[in-house]
Amino acid sequence: MNVIATHVATDNGGKYVRQLCKHWSHKLQTQVEGDIGTVTFPTAVATMAADGEGIAISITGADRADLERLAQVVATHIDRFAFREAPLAYDWQWQEQ
């Protein structure tokens, strides 16, 4: 499996995680517990965990090209909810797993 991850600085991370999971819950399997959310896409799983400094995001799946595309999808959607402070800074990095 491949993992692409980033940490996005924002004071409103928990709010954005909950909004994003609720937004996608109409079409995808999502789970939210406090400030931690998981979205299950057909080919990957995105996990988002907010703290006082931002959101740690990791996306796990088999196909690297698909993960790069999903990273952009996640970033675009978070920026929509964070319109007052967007665009946020995303520095996606590949991680060993």
pLDDT of residue 97: 67
- The helix (H) or strand (E) run that includes residue 29 is strand 29-33
Cis peptide before 87 (omega within 30 of 0): yes
Query: For each successive 10 residues of the chain (97 residues), what is the average pLDDT?
Result: 97 96 97 98 98 96 96 97 94 89
Q: Which letter, b or e, does each residue of 42-68 get, where b requires 16 or more Cβ atoms within 10 Å of its Cβ?
A: eebbbbbbbeeebbbbbbbbeeeebbe
Q: Which residue segments constitute the domains of the chain, with CATH numbers given?
A: 2-85 (3.30.310.50)
